[in-house]
Structure 1
Amino acid sequence: FPPVGVADDHTIANPLLRSQRLSTGWFGCVFELEGVLVNSREAEHREAWTKLAKERGERPPAELVLKYCDLMKPEAFIERQLRWTRDPMEVRRIRQRKGEIYDEILEEQKSLGGRGGGGGDGIGGGGGLDEFALRDGVLPFLNLLADAGVPMAAISNAYGYHDLCGVLSKIGILGYFEDANDGQGPHVVAADDVRDWLPDPEPLERACDLMQRTPKRTIVFGNNTTVTEACYEKGSKAVLLLGRQPRYEMQNADSVVEKLTDLTIANLKNLFADETSEAAEPERQVE
């Protein structure tokens, strides 16, 4: 029989497994770390890059450039936006120094009794893990998905694989992104795992492979429109959280919410209710 849906696999011999894939309950969820699971540190990233530019004697980055400072891999931001150098060793040194300045900013906030730090800049950034705190509603929502048997993955462009696993473990949610049956380890995608970051869909594809879900049956949670662009290219569903961008800029997302607990399993299933498959056999019209 030919495929009858975007999630169908006609090579599966077990009819029960094939039927399960056709239901709207067969999907996976991908979460960005900053801005979704924990509070965004965009302001601290901007300050760190500005201080680094002054330290290097470079022109202060323009606002048009700084808006990408936490949306790109640090290496890509240095090469494509700041255009300071393309030498790999120098890029690595700049990235490490930026991580050190970022940590200093967080420590200064902590000593002044501010809202605290948000962790190092990942690769090359030390300390700061104790300053991470889950956003409101994250833990109940992760429990909801886990109870429903929905696989989950976490992604971050600022951390290496082991650093990202360390952050998730420190805040107590690494277990939600593990599956003892697949033998692949935690479902996390870090900066070192891909060549480029969103809106390039490569991180999304990697997360789908880890969860063993097709991109067309994947929901990506973010707080900016790079998520929407990547989802559009791969046919995934984008759910954006308000805070970083105004609602009118998020109108192309499949759903926009204030917090994760505004959603239910039924809401997530409904995102796939109207899906169509080009591979499915066309309906025959009665003459």
Structure 2
Amino acid sequence: MECRLNSCSFLPVGRVAQFRIPVPPQLKIRGVRKPRRGKLAVTNNGPGFGKRDSNGTFPISPTNIFREEAIGAEHGEAFEAYRPNGTVEVDVDFLNERLCKRGLERIRYALKPDEAFGLIFSWDNVVADTQTLRMDAWSQLASEEGKSIPKDSETQRLMVSSGADYALWKVLCWEQAENEVERLKRRLAEIFYEELSKLQAPMEGLEDWLEALYTAGVPCAVTSSLDRQNLLAALERMGLRKYFQAVVADEDGMESIAQRFLSAAVKLDRPPSKCVVFEDDPRGITAAHNCTMKVVALIGSHPAYELVQADLAVASFSELSVINLRRLFANKGSEFMEPQKQIVQKRPSRRKLRTDTSF
């Protein structure tokens, strides 16, 4: 049996979501079929999952934001498919092999190497300054609850970079009942979306960098834990919507940071090994490397010494140029050309020393 898969997202069915492998239409996986009703990969118990409210927007769920996602792909795993005799894993190597360009496309990208890359931008603190939005949301919540926020920078960094549960229990030490914690998380999400609706400007230098990539024909994607409608609305307000050919949002149902990156690579139709991720978080850097992707780290929310694992670290997008992308892959050689013959250095033959003796 041969099944053609053409979906890149979780499709909502009531309160549960059936998993479909996010691979492009040209990929074929033998022996794969849709899961039965009783065999589901992911269950979302959030209120109103997959349904819109009276205003046509998705309900705010505290699990969508202010959470710490898993890194993912620690052993090269990507997604799971279903067969009659069990599940089959689609790993990173499989995606690299199937998305590798062949034939005329290979020649085309050899002539225009910049178009062969795929750029993936993380939404948080790379496209938008969400660190400030999160801090403002925490400050307003504390003011409403009559609490105080610590002034030291390290505690504040933990607040905005960790999940809401950890921040409430371990960082701020607000001892509350479980139902009270859920109320605080929901109110925190409401405040965050109110602040997000006022967001107008992207990170400094990002628009000029995206314009340079757009001119060079380099496809770009953005990944976020926000729902698609709010994410697209924010991109429209910032004037960046046209620069992104693919969007990975909360509706795509990815379970880890690595799965978000791999889903973006599939939507861009680029092998993960030819993708460059723009991140600001060490966890995101690890996830990208697990996916065989290159990483450009943006110094800001984390100091430079925490981003040493990145292939390149910059303080601003103004420091980048398209030629930097080629240099990231310079040590890989000519991947889009035919295999090159290995040149064997021939050693010169030794001279035989002859001693002429005259008697």
Residues 196 and 166 from structure 1, CA distance in 2 versus in 1: closer, same or farther, beyond 3 angstroms? same
TM superposition shift of 1:247: 1.8
Residues 71 and 161 from structure 1, CA distance in 2 versus in 1: closer, same or farther, beyond 3 angstroms? farther
Within the candidate set 190, 194, 201, 1:133 is matched to 201
Q: Does the 8 Å CA contact 1:30/1:221 hold for their aligned counterparts? A: yes
CA distance in 1: counterparts of 2:143 and 2:194, whole angstroms? 22
Cα-to-partner distance string for 1:56-97 (whole Å, 9 max, x where unaligned): 79998998786454446xxxx245665699x9x988754431
> For structure 2, which runs of at least 5 residues remain unmatched after alignment?
1-94, 170-174, 347-359
Within the candidate set 235, 257, 266, 1:168 is matched to 235
CA distance in 2: counterparts of 1:176 and 1:166, whole angstroms? 14
Matched positions, count: 240
Q: Which has the larger radius of gyration?
A: 2
Q: Over aligned residue pairs, what C-alpha RMSD do you find?
A: 3.9
Give the TM-score taking structure 2 as reference length: 0.55
Q: Does the 8 Å CA contact 1:240/1:250 hold for their aligned counterparts? A: yes
**SS in structure 2 opposite 1:252?**
coil
Equivalent residue, structure 2, for 1:19: 107
Return the letter of the residue paired with 1:99. A
TM superposition shift of 1:273: 1.4
CA distance in 1: counterparts of 2:341 and 2:168, whole angstroms? 53
Q: Does the 8 Å CA contact 1:134/1:171 hold for their aligned counterparts? A: yes
- 1:45 lines up with 2:134 in the alignment: yes
Residues 66 and 11 from structure 1, CA distance in 2 versus in 1: closer, same or farther, beyond 3 angstroms? closer
CA distance in 2: counterparts of 1:66 and 1:52, whole angstroms? 14
Q: Does the 8 Å CA contact 2:99/2:270 hold for their aligned counterparts? A: no
- Whichever structure has more helix as a proportion of its residues is 1
Return the letter of the residue paired with 1:269. R
Equivalent residue, structure 2, for 1:181: none
Give the TM-score taking structure 1 as reference length: 0.67
Q: Does the 8 Å CA contact 2:221/2:264 hold for their aligned counterparts? A: yes
Return the letter of the residue paired with 1:194. G
Cα-to-partner distance string for 1:139-182 (whole Å, 9 max, x where unaligned): 1111111111111111223x21111011101111111113xxxx
- 1:272 lines up with 2:339 in the alignment: no
TM superposition shift of 1:243: 1.7
Q: Does the 8 Å CA contact 2:124/2:130 hold for their aligned counterparts? A: yes
**SS in structure 2 opposite 1:126?**
helix
- 1:33 lines up with 2:101 in the alignment: no
- Whichever structure has more strand as a proportion of its residues is 2
TM superposition shift of 1:216: 1.0
